[in-house]
Chains A and B, each alone.
Chain A
Amino acid sequence: MLRPSVLGMSDAIVVEGLVKRYGGTTALDGVDLTAAEGSVLGLLGPNGAGKTTVVRILTTLLKADAGRAEVLGLDVVRDGDAVRASIGLTGQYAAVDEYLTGVENLEMVGRLYRLGRRQARARAGELLERFDLAGAADRPAKTYSGGMRRRLDIAASLIARPRVLFLDEPTTGLDPRSRLGMWEFIADLADGGTTILLTTQYLEEADRLADRMVVIDHGQVIARGTADELKAQVGGQRLEFTVTTAAVLPDIAARLRGLAVDEPQVDEQARRLTLPVSGGAEILAEALQRLDGYTAEIFDVGLRRPDLDDVFLALTGHAAEAAATDDDPRTEPAVTGGVR
């Protein structure tokens, strides 16, 4: 879904050889990436990969130990003020003042972006309307739901019509309905020509919104390209079985040994077995033949092209949301869980 505006434009974000260390831990180990003006770049990676660190350096919150970062041709260290005047940031936590009403929050940020009083007020009204918050405009943000706070947060970052927008995990913690709504807002913004750098752990989100993706893990870029390019890189097909009880999974896996071209993946929670295979229907037929006698336990069988979850697994050796460490290397490792 490359947008036409992407072609032939200059880069709005340029990052070269970015290194950031916290004490003995290396959070970023030489990251390079670019985003064309008007495009959406998806920055993907598990927790602790370094996504937030990249965003913090680009938004002037953090100084890199080495490397170069430019936004709209401006160096984030030397021209910090000019960079701040042309970007918007929505961090991982909805940074709204919960004691202020929706409209007061937006007016405050507008004034701090140096908009005039009247201009800030008009723009606040416009954004509240657009983000479905007009009805709650005069209520303190404390009373807002998680989704509403997130929308208010994004509205605040848009108040001065930034040319480049940084969205750090904009849908983490949102229910599925709010997430879909957020995707529509982000897609609208991108269609309006805003350059967006979006970090996410949700591959589906990147697939939906990003023109190009950069996958990082342990502070290094491990893949880049469009979603289709990444999927092609993994190649082959996926043979997937869902069973009625997880207890039979090891047995099924044993019977299918030899069919997979790579390590099969067992997800006990989802009662699912996934095998990377190189053939098509004949493999499926062969598999079903081998599983004769298990028909009662097999709930669903399918052959599909690899999706971004498979890409992630192949690239990083672990599933997307089964994080190894938290984004901040100083905190304890996050609890790991299943793929979905």
Chain B
Amino acid sequence: MSSLAATLSDSAVITKRNLIKVKRVPDLIVFATLSPIMFVLLFRYVFGGSIQVPGDISYAEFLLPGIFAQTVVFGSTVTGASIAEDLQKGLIDRFRSLPMSRSAVLIGRTIADAGLNIISIAVMALTGLAVGWRIHTSVGEAVGGFLILLLFAFAISWLMALVGLLVRTPEVVNNASFIVIFPLTFVANTFVPLETFPSVLRTFAEWNPVSSVVQSARELFGNTVPGAPTSDAWSLQHPVLYTLLWVVIILAVFVPLSVRAYRGTASR
């Protein structure tokens, strides 16, 4: 078997293993779906009344792309926690003692977690449709919107993989990543228009890749109002390009770093 074919075959075996767990542990599905539903309903009905959005669209239309982005980014923390758990239980030792590809455990993990994110997005989209969110663009553009959300989350998964390998305790991975990911997903155009931010925070939010992911999704789903005020920052004028740039940079840095960390790690 060539080394590429071997890597693909091993990654498929590991992906399957991880997806079986999703099937057998209902908590995972619950976490992946219930909390986004709760977010949609909370923001739509609790805060929605007091949040002014640019132009003439409902808050639900503005909100859903933001919730999508927030959920998939949070979803990618699962990668770090799961890898830390595998390390703790000695499974990584077992995999490292097998004649398998040295990157397959991480590839299989990040792909399975992308699968989990697809389930989350599907559930959220259905909830969104129920509360007044609509897609106004072509099928191609809509698919593009979902893809960019998943792609960004996939890149964050690789970053979280490294965190999991270094931190080694699932609970600590969760806490550590929440400290970073909460501000990252809130100091952005996720839930409120950027115009409401104080100036320093606003600059941060404009260049925060989460904002560009959300902006890309809004544009690709047609959840923006033409002519409504939007940021002049280059990152938000070219949100898809800016997001893809981040995806490429994160993957280029964290795929090699994570694989290297995996090769050198061993449970204690």
Contact = CB atoms under 8 A, between A and B. Distances in A.
Interface of A: 56, 59-62, 81, 84-85, 87, 89, 91-100, 104, 108-109, 111-114, 140, 156, 328, 330-331
Contacts of B93: 61, 89, 91, 95
B210 to A, nearest CB: 32
Contacts, number: 73
B89 A93 contact: yes
A109 B97 contact: no
Given A95-B89, A97-B17, A140 B94 contact: no
B97 A112 contact: no
Contacts of A97: 17, 21, 91
19 contacts: A56-B266, A61-B97, A84-B99, A89-B94, A89-B97, A92-B90, A93-B89, A93-B267, A95-B89, A95-B91, A97-B91, A99-B20, A99-B25, A100-B17, A100-B20, A111-B9, A112-B95, A113-B100, A330-B268
Contacts of A85: 99
Of the candidates A81, A92, A98, A111, the one having the most CB atoms from chain B within 10 angstroms of its own CB is: A111
Contact of A109 (B9, B16, B94, B104): B94
Given A95-B94, A104-B20, A114-B99, 10 more contacts: A81-B99, A84-B97, A93-B89, A93-B267, A95-B90, A95-B93, A98-B89, A100-B20, A108-B13, A109-B94
B94 A156 contact: yes
B24 A99 contact: yes
A100 B20 CA distance: 7
Interface in B96-144: 96-100, 104
Nearest to B86: A97
Of the candidates A62, A104, A112, the one having the most CB atoms from chain B within 10 angstroms of its own CB is: A112
Contacts of A99: 20-21, 24-25
Of the candidates B17, B25, B267, B268, the one having the most CB atoms from chain A within 10 angstroms of its own CB is: B17
A331 B267 CA distance: 13
B46 interface: no
Contacts of A104: 17, 20
A96 B91 CA distance: 7
A91 B94 contact: yes
Interface string B8-41: 0110010011001100110000000000000000
Interface in B36-93: 89-91, 93
Contacts of A330: 268
B25 A328 contact: no
B1 interface: yes
Contacts of A87: 97
Interface residues of B, number: 26
Contacts of A61: 93, 96-97, 266
Contacts of B1: 114
A95 B96 CA distance: 12
Contact of B98 (A93, A109, A331): A109
A62 B21 contact: no
A254 B97 CA distance: 55
Interface in B183-216: none
Nearest to B95: A112
Contacts of B16: 108
B97 A60 contact: yes
A113 B97 contact: no
Given A87-B97, A91-B94, A111-B13, A140 B24 contact: yes
Contacts of A113: 98-100
A112 B268 contact: no
Nearest to A330: B268
Nearest to B101: A112
Contacts of B20: 99-100, 104
A96 B95 CA distance: 11
A109 B93 CA distance: 13
Contacts of B268: 328, 330-331
The 3 closest A-B pairs by CB, nearest first: A95-B90, A85-B99, A95-B94
A104 B23 CA distance: 14
Contacts of B99: 81, 84-85, 112-114
A83 to B, nearest CB: 9
Nearest to B93: A91
Contacts of A96: 91
Contacts of B6: 114
Contacts of B17: 97, 100, 104, 108
B234 to A, nearest CB: 46
Contacts of B89: 93, 95, 98
A133 B98 CA distance: 23
Nearest to A60: B97
Contacts of A56: 266
A149 to B, nearest CB: 11
Contacts of B96: 60-61
A84 B98 contact: yes
Contacts of B97: 59-61, 84, 87, 89
A162 to B, nearest CB: 10
B65 to A, nearest CB: 33
Interface string B225-268: 00000000000000000000000000000000000000000111
A113 B94 CA distance: 11
Nearest to B12: A111
Contacts of B98: 84, 109, 112-113
A109 B99 CA distance: 10
B111 to A, nearest CB: 16
A224 B17 CA distance: 43
Contacts of B267: 91, 93
